[in-house]
Structure formats: C-alpha cells, structure tokens
Amino acid sequence: GESVGLHLPTLSVQEGDNSIINCAYSNSASDYFIWYKQESGKGPQFIIDIRSNMDKRQGQRVTVLLNKTVKHLSLQIAATQPGDSAVYFCAENTSGGTSYGKLTFGQGTILTVHP
C-alpha cells in the first residue's frame, strides 16, 4: 500500500523464497519503467527495465510485470538471497515527446531476507 515519509512498505522473506514487490505508478503517459535496488550508503543500482509495449520481461532471477490497465508494476525475485536485502524502487519515465525522458521514482519497499 501507499506510505508517507519514513514509513516505507516492508517485505520480510526467508532465504530461498520468492519475493514480489509491487508498485503503482501515476502517469499513464509513462513509456518506460525501471526497477532499482539501493543498499545502505550506496546509490541506486539498475536491476531490470521494461517498455510500455511489453507486459513481461525476465532477467536473471528477476521478472518484471507491467499492467498498464491499472498502472501497476511488480518485481519478482526468485530464490531470494540475503544479499537481496535492500530498498527497491520503481521508476517511471515520461518522454513527453522529447528525447530526454524524466525519471520519477516511487517511494520504495524495504526487502529483508532472513537466512
């Protein structure tokens, strides 16, 4: 669900479980979506992206699903590992007819993986 300020959504899983992190985006004109992972004291790190003309894309242990009808994005992590513990952000890109898109980040979800 939505949270404000310091109350980020949290997800706790056991090592080896599958994780699903959800994100609602706001702009129906957004044409490109990215998931980022951010560990403490580091900048966001690219995980996977998807264009608006797709509804699913798979990477190594990760899958992104896009539902444009309800403006929903999800990140699935298979066989979650302790090293996956971090804050996960979705970001939407809106080109607005220009070559220079603008990324708008969601608030983030804290994923904690227990050994």
* Residue 14 in contact with another protein, rule: CB under 8 A: no
Query: How many angstroms separate the Cα of 3 from the Cα of each of 6, 92, 93?
Result: 8, 18, 21
Nearer to another protein, 78 or 103 (CB): 103
Asked if 114 is part of the footprint of another protein (rule: CB under 8 A), the reply reads no
Judged by DSSP in three states, 44 sits in coil
State yes or no: residue 41 binds another protein (CB under 8 A).
yes
- Binding another protein (rule: CB under 8 A), the pick from 20, 27, 55, 102 is 102
| Shortest distance, position 29 Cβ to another protein, whole Å | 12
- Tell me: does residue 93 bind another protein (CB under 8 A): yes
User: Could you tell me the two tokens for 32?
Assistant: 């490109």
79: which DSSP letter?
S
Site for another protein contains 61 (CB under 8 A): no
Say whether residue 5 binds another protein (CB under 8 A): yes
Residue with Cβ nearer another protein (14 or 98)? 98
Are 41 and 53 within 8 A, CB to CB? no
49 scored as a contact of another protein (CB under 8 A): yes
User: Could you give the CA distance from residue 46 to residue 24 in angstroms, rounded to a whole number?
Assistant: 19
Residue 47 near residue 23 (C-beta atoms within 8 A): no
